[in-house]
């Protein structure tokens, strides 16, 4: 009986140890949606960061954030940038669903690329709301400047856009 009880205590202890290890996983910094390194250690992409992502962003030692939406940047994010001395570049790209907006978006993308290419802004995070379409177009245009073949640019875009990829985005990147 003492052996069975002792074994039960060891098993319970093992379960508690595993639970504590699992709890540690929850305390690790959480990246924003669709987060990925575009260029290791100096260009990143994601969806809109939320306060739960701030510890993760802090670990990147960002100097700049490129925000691609026309809506005002959330106040709590602005506070995070101010506290951490991160510069915000906002390029208000209208949605990429309407082909008529694509020509004006080309000028905006060119301006955003100037910020990305300037090493004084590195490390930099590029993001829109979900990190799919606007971010995908900007990263796709960067890839074209890097002389990636169009098939690889499209593959990377589709990886992040998933089932919601847009023909207008593909045409935009192809023609950029």
Tokens 């960002």 belong to residue: 62
Single out the residue of 131, 93, 124 nearest to residue 109, CA to CA.
93
Catalytic residue flag (residue 128) = yes
Tokens 């996983």 belong to residue: 25
The catalytically annotated residue of 36, 69, 128, 137 is 128
The alpha-helical segments, DSSP class H, found in 39-166 are 54-59, 75-83, 102-117, 133-145, 150-161
Secondary structure of residue 149 in the 3-state scheme: coil
The string of DSSP letters for 21-78 reads HHHHHHHSPPPPTT-EEEETTTEEEES---GGGHHHHHHTT-SEEEE--SSPPPHHHH
Cα–Cα distance, 142 to 156 (Å, whole number)? 12
Single out the residue of 119, 137, 126 nearest to residue 49, CA to CA.
126
Among all residues, which ones are annotated catalytic? Answer: 128
């Amino acid at each position: 009986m003492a052996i069975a009880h002792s074994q039960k205590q060891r098993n319970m202890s093992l379960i508690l140890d595993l639970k504590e290890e699992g709890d540690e996983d929850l305390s690790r910094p959480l990246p924003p949606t669709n987060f990925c390194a575009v260029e290791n250690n100096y260009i990143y992409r994601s969806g809109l960061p939320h306060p739960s992502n701030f510890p993760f962003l802090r670990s990147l030692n960002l100097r700049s954030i490129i925000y691609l939406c026309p809506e005002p940047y959330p106040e709590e994010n602005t506070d995070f940038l101010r506290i951490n001395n991160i510069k915000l570049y906002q390029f208000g790209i209208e949605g990429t669903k309407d082909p008529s907006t694509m020509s004006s978006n080309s000028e905006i993308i060119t301006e955003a690329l100037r910020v990305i290419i300037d090493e004084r802004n590195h490390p930099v995070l590029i993001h829109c709301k979900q990190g799919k379409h606007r971010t995908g177009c900007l990263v796709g245009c960067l890839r074209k400047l890097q002389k990636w073949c169009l098939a690889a640019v499209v593959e990377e875009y589709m990886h992040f856009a998933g089932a919601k990829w847009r023909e207008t985005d593909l045409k935009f990147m192809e023609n950029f």
